[in-house]
């Protein structure tokens, strides 16, 4: 997010501008709206990645030497998500 703002010097200038009237407030609100939309896009991109890491963490324990055979059996016979 910081890199995205860094690449947009116009947004930075608008955010650093002194607020003197309602038009300045409107400009700041538009910039904040843009930032929130970008944040939402980033969340939508990261969500599936976090889910995959969760699945990997749950299923990868069977390959570890300290994992119990009993725990791995239960995980291996569990149906895949969505079925």
* pLDDT tens figures, 32-68: 898 899 888 888 888 888 888 888 888 776 655 555 5
- Domain assignment present for residue 70? The answer is no
- The token pair that represents 3 in the structure block: 């890199």
Q: What percent of the chain has pLDDT over 70?
A: 67
- Domain assignment present for residue 66? The answer is no
- Domain assignment present for residue 76? The answer is no
pTM value is 0.51
Please name which of 33, 48, 42, 35 lies closest in space to residue 6, comparing C-alpha atoms. Answer: 35
* pLDDT tens figures, 65-77: 555 555 555 444 4
Q: pLDDT at position 11, please?
A: 77
Residues spanned by the domain of 27: 2-59
- Domain assignment present for residue 52? The answer is yes
* pLDDT tens figures, 10-20: 777 777 888 89
- Domain assignment present for residue 65? The answer is no
């Amino acid at each position: 997010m910081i890199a995205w703002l860094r690449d947009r010097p116009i947004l930075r200038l608008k955010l650093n501008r002194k607020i003197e009237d309602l038009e300045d407030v409107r400009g700041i609100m538009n910039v904040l709206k843009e930032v929130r939309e970008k944040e939402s896009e980033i969340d939508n991109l990261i969500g599936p990645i976090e889910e995959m890491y969760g699945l990997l963490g749950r299923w990868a324990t069977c390959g570890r030497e300290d994992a119990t055979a009993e725990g791995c059996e239960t995980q291996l016979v569990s149906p895949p998500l969505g079925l």
